[in-house]
Structure 1
């Protein structure tokens, strides 16, 4: 007689996978990074006549030496009229030798390096560029006291191809990734925004139409790099202004980018350099410091009514997480958490929440070697106090004002740097 069979035990619930170690190597598209910490794009204010300087190279070498997996060079305009500052790099033949020196120097420290590419659109500086700013619709920019012209279909085609050419040149210059700027109401972001985009053609009206330019740009960049380097899209979740682009529209756009297969990772951001710049940063708005570096009549305007444009918002660590986790739930793409990443506990939280990478900015401006010190002691706190007084310094060389690192960078701009072609 056969013995009765013991019923099989019910399957145990699957153990959730452990969160990845933020300081361990990881793949970003085709690129292997030594860890999951990225120095976020912060405009350095250290290029001169659109060329790389020794100060710009030293700026990024400091973060590479300090332990980040990748540092991001910001902001490299895809066209001359897309610059937000007249000294910003754009992708000319003359800029290429200096960019290669920069990438080689970062690689020598064991880190990867990304180029943030984009077109400033209505945020661009028409006086410095010697050309009108472009916008989806005619728009008055209070900071430049000028109107941006409506982009024609020829402008749209030209700028899209300029993104592809910038990506090809990034590969040639030795970059490991490009970060395409789809945020902050720069050109692609301004097309996404119903507050700024009043077009009635195929690039305006419905969300499908307003997202057309961003998707075409990402397709052009993806095809241009051909899988040789990583492609990251930096996209707004929220413009921070009434009637602007918001999370309910950001979710389907993120899903479309995933369906298009044109990006290796998403970095979600917020705010409008055109209409509400402090919304991204949170913390104090340094009105006095901004006024000190502004030319007239902007200096007087900032002193009198700057608090209407440069608003203060309460700061907390990981302040974009609540919105970004909704994008995280809607896509399977790797994601980079930005906003209030200050130390190992916040990084570990991001990993537990399903983000593959983190991006740090202000904390690293204060302490370029913070990642190395966190590796030695996970309890190492960031010394950044989120005063945001680093923001006005991008006119003279971006830095933490609480750290004395010697000569103001602008004083070296007119001197031979050795890295300027």
Structure 2
């Protein structure tokens, strides 16, 4: 903790005041736009207001809402549409709620373009050209000149309404592959009229939108443009055109540029854990060198020490992360107070946020490491009316959340863990390349246990008699690897995934992994990446002009029962995992029915016939089952709550386990 605290004491750039046009801001930490899955629903408006109000209390210098569509054609399910009076009236509640606690809020003006879904908007989507979307698998209608004129006016009208109902600024969505970005890119704009062809033609609609808005709202109202710094799409807008576009936006009257990265259909990770912290800040920094208005960055800016350095070094003027505000509603407050140790860091897992927006029907957005996010109305964090003695058995992520929540509610909590370290499955997950953010969650829980005076008993398995002295017992002992009934499973070279991830066995050179779910893919990635020297070693060799360090001759084969692999991994992340496995040369054999493990191989069948996979080590990643516990015996003496994998191992994931633990602990009274 001491190193982190010292870093934060030195972090001063984020605390500097700043300006976006006429808007004076007390520091450099904004909250970026994200849809919550609550928009457009009358019965969820209070919930949405409370969500933003809590972030305003958390000292966000400026909050940017999820996008509000400027026309029905540019919308989606659970989205406000600014051409509807009832939606504008509902949107007026958000600035009232935020201003009530001294915050500032801006409305994002949005148009989906070819990313709209006809079933949701009730008509064929529109776009610069009739080019099918890989995301929706629909082909939009090419916009007419009349459509374009109406859309420009709709953006201007939306900005005028935002100003009228009390928003402190507006942000124009022109990134992430939405309509204005589609016009700018030659990938999606094949027009031959004034709005296509040349770069000047492709950027015309964006410039017209800015000028039309400026005419409606006047010279002093803050206007932010979220532009794409890098589309991550082959043959799209060039870096040179991007710089020219930024300069044209400034000349047209934009007060700040918020730099987005990537399209939803691009094959470059932009928000997943594998992306280094601040990994795309250099893109924003390059743009900043060519404009005189503030430049804002967002992607993977989840910790203050990285963000502060980027501002101090001149890459950015402001940061506007979104998901870190889900993980911790006091993101800015804690940073400004120097409380890095108390920060609940976003781990970029996407499981309860982005993945919830990619399913149909959409699910409300929340956060794996903060299950209250988006539901503050339902779960106010206040003391219970009576303090109870609560025991929590198991200190994996579910047990840690249960202990922290129960203590926050004012209960007297004792946490039991049979191992010598906290964290359970998260401790193992943190070993996977690109997943070390899981250690941040363990660090946070550990800090909170200490602050809340939770008694932690390590390497201890409590007896029924000991637990009987408590009012409530939360059993969160999690899961253990399932050992499938395969002949040869007891051979000495057969191990389970926990033994590998906990470093209990030495890794082989010819490895067969039985099971191709999330754990099997993670283990394959770890072992395939482990063939190579660490990046720091490679960098040292290059710096010393030495030959590239040799790799270990390790072969990794994943055996999948079905014709798919990576099942159980969220939609926004599965493709990244599979892409990494392909890059690392992991072999995947699908529709493999395992018959036997021999000392030298795994023997099985595929639709093509018998298959023998040579292996000097076999790793079982064939699912999980609940760890044994004594809930039934204990229930005769105290109130027992079984959560997470201990309750039901089928389909278990961290999001479900942590949410169940939170709810069980919260409801103790």
TM-score range, shorter chain: 0.7 to 0.9
Identify the residue that residue 289 of structure 2 maps to in structure 1: 329
Q: Point out the more displaced range, 162-171 or 193-202.
A: 193-202
Identify the residue that residue 351 of structure 1 maps to in structure 2: 311
The secondary structure found in structure 2 opposite 1:200 is coil
The secondary structure found in structure 1 opposite 2:67 is strand
1:406 to 1:27, Cα distance in 2 relative to 1, 3 A: closer
Contact in 2 for aligned 1:342/1:382 (Cα 8 Å): no
1:80 partnered with 2:41 = no
Structure 2 unaligned spans of 5+: 1-10, 379-669
**Number of residues of Structure 1 aligned to a counterpart in Structure 2:** 361
How far does residue 392 in structure 1 lie from its aligned partner after superposition?
Answer: 1.6
Identify the residue that residue 355 of structure 2 maps to in structure 1: 392
Identify the residue that residue 119 of structure 1 maps to in structure 2: 111
Identify the residue that residue 16 of structure 1 maps to in structure 2: none
How far does residue 407 in structure 1 lie from its aligned partner after superposition?
Answer: 9.3
Q: Distance in 2 between matches of 1:95 and 1:38?
A: 25
Structure 1 unaligned spans of 5+: 1-18, 284-313, 412-421
Q: Point out the more displaced range, 386-395 or 63-72.
A: 386-395
RMSD, matched Cα = 2.4
Contact in 2 for aligned 1:317/1:342 (Cα 8 Å): yes
Q: Distance in 2 between matches of 1:238 and 1:118?
A: 19
Contact in 1 for aligned 2:272/2:349 (Cα 8 Å): no
The secondary structure found in structure 1 opposite 2:211 is helix
1:133 partnered with 2:125 = yes
The secondary structure found in structure 2 opposite 1:180 is strand
Identify the residue that residue 270 of structure 1 maps to in structure 2: 261
Q: Could you tell me the TM-score, scaled by structure 2's length?
A: 0.51
Out of 262, 270, 277, the residue aligned to residue 280 of structure 1 is: 270
1:51 to 1:72, Cα distance in 2 relative to 1, 3 A: farther
Q: Distance in 2 between matches of 1:243 and 1:351?
A: 31
Q: Distance in 2 between matches of 1:342 and 1:160?
A: 35
1:335 to 1:80, Cα distance in 2 relative to 1, 3 A: same
Out of 131, 148, 155, the residue aligned to residue 156 of structure 1 is: 148
Q: Distance in 2 between matches of 1:143 and 1:379?
A: 38
Q: Distance in 1 between matches of 2:13 and 2:232?
A: 33
Contact in 1 for aligned 2:186/2:236 (Cα 8 Å): yes
Q: Distance in 1 between matches of 2:127 and 2:42?
A: 23
How far does residue 246 in structure 1 lie from its aligned partner after superposition?
Answer: 3.5
How far does residue 166 in structure 1 lie from its aligned partner after superposition?
Answer: 0.1
1:88 to 1:117, Cα distance in 2 relative to 1, 3 A: same
How far does residue 155 in structure 1 lie from its aligned partner after superposition?
Answer: 0.4
Q: Distance in 1 between matches of 2:120 and 2:333?
A: 39
Q: Could you tell me the TM-score, scaled by structure 1's length?
A: 0.80
Q: Point out the more displaced range, 182-191 or 374-383.
A: 374-383
Identify the residue that residue 335 of structure 2 maps to in structure 1: 374
Q: Point out the more displaced range, 152-161 or 340-349.
A: 340-349
The secondary structure found in structure 2 opposite 1:241 is coil
1:408 to 1:51, Cα distance in 2 relative to 1, 3 A: closer
How far does residue 141 in structure 1 lie from its aligned partner after superposition?
Answer: 2.2
Identify the residue that residue 401 of structure 2 maps to in structure 1: none
The secondary structure found in structure 1 opposite 2:368 is coil
Trace 1:52-71 onto structure 2 (pairs within 5 A). Answer: 53-71=45-63
Q: Distance in 2 between matches of 1:73 and 1:400?
A: 17
Which 4+ stretches in 1 moved above 6 angstroms? 406-409
How far does residue 404 in structure 1 lie from its aligned partner after superposition?
Answer: 2.7
How far does residue 248 in structure 1 lie from its aligned partner after superposition?
Answer: 2.5
How far does residue 109 in structure 1 lie from its aligned partner after superposition?
Answer: 1.6
The secondary structure found in structure 2 opposite 1:232 is strand
Q: Distance in 1 between matches of 2:340 and 2:373?
A: 29
User: RCO greater where, 1 or 2, for CA within 8 Å and sep 6 or more?
Assistant: 1
Contact in 2 for aligned 1:396/1:408 (Cα 8 Å): no
Q: Distance in 1 between matches of 2:25 and 2:41?
A: 32
